[in-house]
């Protein structure tokens, strides 16, 4: 019956690297597995591809399952296929990269999956080849955020320029000059002054901005020259 009789058929997993920003550091959403294999160890959130499901749809299902969120930023970044990467049975893993606003999460769903936000420094060793996937995701973030206005996915709808700066400083692990940053970011025309102030500021209250959604698409390349040398440590 099969038209490709000689070819092998193998398991297809989907793994998701989910990143958030807590105001200071980039965090990963990881799960402490309460199921076999590798029960008790840390891993990325993942699952197997379903019968009548596109890859993207599978990623969205898994992300919704864990976070209770829809419409989150998600992109396919790589595919891992080493022969022995899953010791149980050969499995290739299609890896997705998701950015979410850490405040929007559904804490109950997270608890149900034994999930936790951990900063990159706190990150324990992960199962299988999941550490490599995380490394790729960080690299990807550094590339992409240097070229495109992507960081906003990690912030609340309304945010201040100092918050945005802290985010970039976390992504690239470098200090940026406050004044030059502000000028550069405003010159893109991507931010709109909401007229509101960030009330939680301890001192002078910073202006809250939001994304200019109209210009967002046109200005997708506005950040092209944004960072000096992302990817170099």
Partner DNA sequence: GCAAAAGTGTTAAAGCTACACCCATGT
Partner DNA sequence: ACATGGGTGTAGCTTTAACACTTTTGC
Let me know: does 128 contact 43? Beta carbons within 8 Å: yes
Judged by CB under 8 A, the residue of 83, 108, 213, 233 near a copy of itself is 83
Q: Is 89 in the site for a copy of itself (CB under 8 A)?
A: yes
Number of residues that bind DNA (CB under 7 A): 20
| Residue 106 CB contacts under 8 Å (≥ 6 apart), including other chains | 67, 68, 69
Q: Is 147 in the site for a copy of itself (CB under 8 A)?
A: yes
Let me know: does 16 contact 62? Beta carbons within 8 Å: yes
Measure the CA–CA gap between 103 and 178, rounded to whole angstroms: 25
The site partner of 162 among a copy of itself, DNA, none (C-beta below 5 to 8 Å per kind) is: DNA
Q: Is 202 in the site for DNA (CB under 7 A)?
A: yes
Of 87 and 228, CB closest to DNA: 228
- Bridge partners of 28, per DSSP, are 19, 118
| Residue 192 CB contacts under 8 Å (≥ 6 apart), including other chains | 209, 210, 211, 212
The site partner of 49 among DNA, a copy of itself, none (C-beta below 5 to 8 Å per kind) is: a copy of itself
Measure the CA–CA gap between 221 and 98, rounded to whole angstroms: 20
Measure the CA–CA gap between 152 and 230, rounded to whole angstroms: 18
The 28-47 site mask, x for binding a copy of itself (CB under 8 A), equals ---------x----------
Judged by CB under 8 A, the residue of 81, 177, 178, 183 near a copy of itself is 81
State which of positions 151-190 bind DNA (CB under 7 A).
Answer: 160-162, 177-180, 182-184
The DSSP string of 123-151 is PPPBSTTHHHHHHHHHHHHHHHHHHSS-G
Q: Is 24 in the site for DNA (CB under 7 A)?
A: no
The site partner of 200 among DNA, a copy of itself, none (C-beta below 5 to 8 Å per kind) is: none
Let me know: does 159 contact 208? Beta carbons within 8 Å: yes
The site partner of 11 among DNA, a copy of itself, none (C-beta below 5 to 8 Å per kind) is: a copy of itself
- For 42, counting Cβ atoms within 10 Å of its Cβ (0-12 exposed, 13-18 middle, 19+ buried), the class is buried
Provide the binding-site residues for a copy of itself, judged by CB under 8 A.
Answer: 2-4, 6-12, 37, 48-55, 76, 78-79, 81-83, 88-89, 91-92, 94, 143, 147, 221, 224-225, 228-229, 231-232
Binding site for DNA (CB under 7 A): 160-162, 177-180, 182-184, 197, 201-207, 225, 228
């Amino acid at each position: 019956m099969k038209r490709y009789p000689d070819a092998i058929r193998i398991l297809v997993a989907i793994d998701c690297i989910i990143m958030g920003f807590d105001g200071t550091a980039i965090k990963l959403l990881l799960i402490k597995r309460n199921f076999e294999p590798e029960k008790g160890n840390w891993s990325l959130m993942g699952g197997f591809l379903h019968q009548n499901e596109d890859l993207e749809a599978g990623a969205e299902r898994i992300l919704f399952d864990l976070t209770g969120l829809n419409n989150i930023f998600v992109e396919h970044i790589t595919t891992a296929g080493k022969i022995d990467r899953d010791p149980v049975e050969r499995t290739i893993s299609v890896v997705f990269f998701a950015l979410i606003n850490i405040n929007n999460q559904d804490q109950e769903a997270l608890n149900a999956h034994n999930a936790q936000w951990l900063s990159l420094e706190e990150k324990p060793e992960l199962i299988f080849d999941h550490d490599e996937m995380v490394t790729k995701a960080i690299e990807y973030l550094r590339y992409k955020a240097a070229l495109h206005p992507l960081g906003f996915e990690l912030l609340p709808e309304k945010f201040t320029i100092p918050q945005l700066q802290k985010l970039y400083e976390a992504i690239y692990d470098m200090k940026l000059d406050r004044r030059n940053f502000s000028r550069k970011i405003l010159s893109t025309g991507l931010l709109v002054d909401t007229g509101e102030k960030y009330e939680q500021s301890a001192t002078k209250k910073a202006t809250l901005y939001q994304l200019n959604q109209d210009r967002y698409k046109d200005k997708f390349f506005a950040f092209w020259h944004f960072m000096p040398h992302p990817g170099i440590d």
